[in-house]
Amino acid sequence: MSTLLSGEVIRSLTAKSNTPLVFRGFVNWPVCQWDSEKWCSVFGDKEIPFRCLKRDFVSDEPCWERKCKLKSMTFKTFVDSLESSDEWMYFDYKYLHQWFGADTELNKAVSWKDFGYPDKGAAETTLWVGSRGAHTPAHQDTYGFNIVAQLHGIKRWILFPPETGGLKPTRVPYEESSVYSELNFYCPSNLDVFNGLTGGRMVELRAGDALLVPRGWWHYVQNIDPLNITLNTWLPHDRDGTTRVSEALIKILVAQICKDLPQETSKLLVNPNEDDIADTPLAVLFLQLETVANTYLDNRRKTRRVKRQRTCDDDVTAPVLEDYDLKTLLENEANNLEVVPNISSEDLINLVKRNLREYANCNRSLDEDEVDGSTTSLCLTKAVIDAFSQGNVIELVKQNLFTRLSQSY
C-alpha cells in the first residue's frame, strides 16, 4: 500500500475522512508565488464588490452579512487602502469563471488534479479575497465537503465536529446549504458562551497549504494578514441527495413566512443572496421539492436493486475507492500531512480575547446599518423557523414524506 500522497490517495482521503486534514505546502500552483502587484494586474481595472464592516464592531451575535455595506473598488484601490482603512473588507464566495475569462492566467492555473479530481478546475472554484479581520461567521455546509487552497497570506480556521453541542445552530439568517452558529467568534460582547465548548480544532494556513473540511464540520474562518487570498472547491457527498430534500422543505417554510411579513422584517430573516425568496411562487418551490425527492427515491430504488442483483452497474454506483491507512500516511514525513490539532476551551477563549484586544472598541456607538442588521428583534419568528428546521424534526417530516411518496408509485 502506498504511503505517498498521490492524487488517488488524496481523493480517497478527502472522500472518506471524518477528520480535518492539512496538506502543508502541497499546492504548487504558480499563483501561490504571486505578489500584490501581480494580483493587481490580474484583476486589472474591473470594479469588484467588497462587503465591509468596521473592524471594532462588538456584538452579542455574529457579523451577519446584512450588517455589512457593499463597496465597489478596483483591486489596486483595495490593496492601497489595507493599512489606512478602519474596516475589514471581503470579496468572498465568488466563482472564478464569473469574474475571469477561461483563457486568463488565473483560470488556467487552477486545477484540482493533484487532489485526485482532474475534472475540477476554475469553473468549480470559488475565490475569497479579504483584508485583516475579514471573516466568515461560524457555520456548517449542509452539502458535500470542502477542499481549501491558500494562495496568499495567513488564514485561521477554527473547526468543530458536526455533533458539537453549545454552538447554538440557527437557520436565521437563512441561506440554502448553510447552518449558522449564533456564537460570535470575532468580537463578542460576552465570553461566557465559550466556557466548556469542547471538540474544537484550530489551524493557520499559509500560501501553498491546503485543508480538507469534512462533511458537516463547523468552521469559523478569519484573515490574519493584511492581504489574504484563498480558493476552494466543494465536492459532492453520498448524503447530498437526502440533504437536498431537507433543504427544499426548509426553503418552503422560510419562503412562506417571508411572504406575509413586511419587507424590512423578511430581509432580516435571510442572507442577501436569498432576497428573492419571498417572490418565488409556491408552485416553483413545490416543483423543486418534487424534483429532489423523486431523484432521491429513484436513486434509492436503483441502489437497492443493484444490491439484490449483486451487480456493479457504474450508472448507479460510485467507483469504489481504496482504503488507505491514515496513520501510516501521517507518519511519513515526506507527505507533510497533518490532522488539524485540537484546541482547548481555554485556548479558544484566549484567541477570542486576542481579537478583542486587537480590534474591539466597546465605547463606539453602533451606526444605523449595524443596528438594522440585527436578528435579535425576530425572537418568535426565528424560534419558529429554528424549531421546524431542527435536525430531528426535519428528518421526521422527510421520512414521512418519503413514505407517502413511495406509496403513490
Type of residue numbered 269: L
Q: Write down the pLDDT at residue 311.
A: 55
- Residue 300 CA to residue 298 CA, distance in Å, equals 5
* Mean pLDDT value of segment 170-182: 97
Residue 309: predicted pLDDT: 76
Task: Tell me: pLDDT of 320 over 80.
Answer: no
Cα torsion 182, 184, 190, 196: sign: positive
CB environment 183-204: b (16+ within 10 A), e (fewer): bbbbbbeeeebbeebebbbbbe
CA distances from 120 to 6, 234, 240, 289 (A): 16, 10, 18, 28
Question: What does the pLDDT look like over 6-40, one tens digit per residue?
Answer: 999 999 999 999 999 999 999 999 999 999 999 99
Residue 313: pLDDT over 60: no
| Exposure class string for 219-251: b at 16+ Cβ within 10 A, else e | bbbbbebebbbbbbbbbebeebbbbbbbbbbbb
Place of cell 485583516: 132
What digits encode the pLDDT tens for the residues 282-292?
999 999 999 99
pLDDT at 227 > cutoff 80: yes
**Summary mean pLDDT of the chain:** 92
Cell numbers of 67, please? 450588517
Closest CA to 355 of 20, 51, 59, 22: 59
**Nearest alpha-carbon partner for 386 in 63, 160, 168, 64:** 168
Q: What's the half-sphere exposure (Cβ side, CA atoms, 13 Å) at 255?
A: 19
Cβ atoms < 10 Å from Cβ of 91: 22
Q: What is the pLDDT of residues 262-304, one digit of tens each?
A: 998 999 999 999 999 999 999 999 999 999 999 999 999 888 8
Mean pLDDT on 161-188: 97
pLDDT level of residue 308 (50, 70, 90 thresholds): confident
Percent of the chain surpassing pLDDT 70: 92
238-261 per-position pLDDT tens digit = 999 999 999 999 999 999 999 989
End-to-end Cα, the chain, rounded Å: 47
Buried b / exposed e over 107-138, threshold 16 CB at 10 Å, is bebbbbebbbbeebbbebbbbbbbbbbbbbbb
pLDDT, position 316: 47
When pLDDT is cut at 50, 70 and 90, the band that residue 369 belongs to is low
Residue 306 has pLDDT above 50, yes or no: yes
**Rg of the chain over all Cα atoms, to the nearest angstrom:** 22
Mean pLDDT of 58-68: 94
pLDDT at 396 over 70: yes
Residue 323: closest CA among 7, 4, 8: 8
Please check the confidence at residue 371 and state whether its pLDDT lies above 60: no
Cα torsion angle, 354, 52, 124, 290, sign? positive
| Arithmetic mean of pLDDT, 82-92 | 97
Q: Which domains does the chain have, with CATH numbers?
A: 7-237+325-365 (2.60.120.10), 241-317+375-407 (no CATH)
